[in-house]
Amino acid sequence: MVHGKKLAKETLLPSVLEDDDAEPESEKLQLGEQIVGQTEFNARGPKDQCSSPDGNMQDGGERQGEEKVEEEENEREERGGEERVSSEEDYDTDLEIEDKEEAYDPTGQTCYVEACKKYQVVPASYFLRHMQNSELSMMHRGLGPQGTKALAVPLVTNTSILRLNLRDNWMEEMGGAAIAEMLKENCYITEVDLSDNNLGDDGAKAIAAMLKENSTLVNLNLSGNHFTDKSAEYLGPALMINTKLQHLDLSYNTLGKSAGSIAGNIYLRTVDLSCNGFSKEGAIALGQALKDNSVLEELNVSNNRIPPEGAIRLAMGLRVNKTIKSLNIGKNPIQDAGCYGILKCMQENPNSAMETLDFGDIIVNQDFEDLYTAVKEMLPGLTVNYGGRFGIFRKAKA
């Protein structure tokens, strides 16, 4: 409001600002008081009588004429006062609006453009047009690390976007760290897709640090980011601290045997660990985690090179688990023995909540189908998907 004060000072005291030999302030005040006193006397004199120049009283007709003139003057003064007040109010409002626009950019567009200048990238016009939507999808835009950093700046204070999809932008660890820092501050975004961005283990470390502080994310997709066992070591403890995240996709990484620390989280409801290649050791760790987990409802461990022994050890956790409703273990070399062992554990668990078992692309035998028929009597809502049964394609003898 400095500009407003300066303008007001120039308006109210022009003689002081322009004349160095102006009369003292006390004399000005006395002069002002005299003028005010005269104005009040002329405006508020007796309405029923007026004095003539020689001091004699004027007659009634003249008094009425004077009263009429005086009333008209009073009305003009009142109208002038209202106009002055209205003008002053408009003036103050204009100043407030100007200051507010300078102090805060509600759209974030100016902030984004300045960030793009700083990081030497071209502003994404799509982002400028849709940054006030509830859902922002910017897949395959080639943002890169610098473009992602610029994008993260206005997102820190954005209150409109609830779902953010930045899939396949090759943001690498630097861009991933920028998004992670943004999510520490933003308390509106609930869903984020950062899949296929080559975040690496360092990016996973930044995401893990964010998960320890963020309390709004519900759904997080980190598929295809070259995560290794090192990433799992970062993410596992963070997921034990985070109490809000419910759905996590870590498919198409190479987490290895440390995958069990992910499924052991006691707050996640769905976890996708498909295509991580964690083999027997990872399956054993998952089985142990499922013994203690009482929240997880959906688990996808398809295409992980799990052998029959790994499947049976994983089934040990299913024997006591009470919450898993869906298990996808298809496209693994567990053979019919592994499928039979998992289904047998379902039969031995009277508290099982299992609704869907997916053994996609795995061929089973007649013993498995007979067991499935028996388990269906105990769990009538159970649906089992498998790749077929041995012998059904054999040609009938002539």
pLDDT, residue 206, reads 98
Residue 266 has pLDDT above 90, yes or no: no
For residue range 179-237, what is the model confidence (pLDDT) as tens digits?
Answer: 999 999 999 999 999 999 999 999 999 999 999 999 999 999 999 999 999 999 999 99
The span from the CA of 354 to the CA of 323, in Å, is 8
pLDDT, residue 65, reads 53
For residue range 297-310, what is the model confidence (pLDDT) as tens digits?
Answer: 999 999 999 999 99
pLDDT, residue 167, reads 98
For residue range 335-346, what is the model confidence (pLDDT) as tens digits?
Answer: 999 999 999 999
End-to-end CA distance of the chain: 101
For residue range 311-344, what is the model confidence (pLDDT) as tens digits?
Answer: 999 999 999 999 999 999 999 999 999 999 999 9
Answer with the residue of higher pLDDT: 357 or 98: 357
pLDDT band per the 50, 70, 90 thresholds, residue 262:
confident
Residue 32 has pLDDT above 90, yes or no: no
- Write down how long the chain is: 398
Measured between alpha carbons, how far is residue 123 from residues 109, 111, 115 in Å?
10, 11, 9
Phi, psi for residue 249 in degrees, rounded to 5: -115, 115
Q: What CATH architecture does domain 111-389 belong to?
A: Alpha-Beta Horseshoe (3.80)
The mean predicted confidence, pLDDT, of the chain is 80
Residue 35 has pLDDT above 50, yes or no: no
Least confident of 156-160, 237-241, 261-265, 368-372: 261-265
Residue with tokens 């899939």: 167
Supply the DSSP string of 126-181, one letter for each residue. Answer: HHHHHTTSSEEE-TT---HHHHHHHHHHHHTT--S--EEE--S---HHHHHHHHHH
For β-strands 219-221 and 135-137, DSSP reports them as unpaired
Residues 6+ apart with CB under 8 A from 347: 371, 374, 375, 378
Phi, psi for residue 69 in degrees, rounded to 5: -60, -40
pLDDT, residue 388, reads 83
Q: Is 324 exposed, middle or buried (0-12, 13-18, 19+ CB in 10 A)?
A: buried
Least confident of 31-40, 232-241, 255-264: 31-40
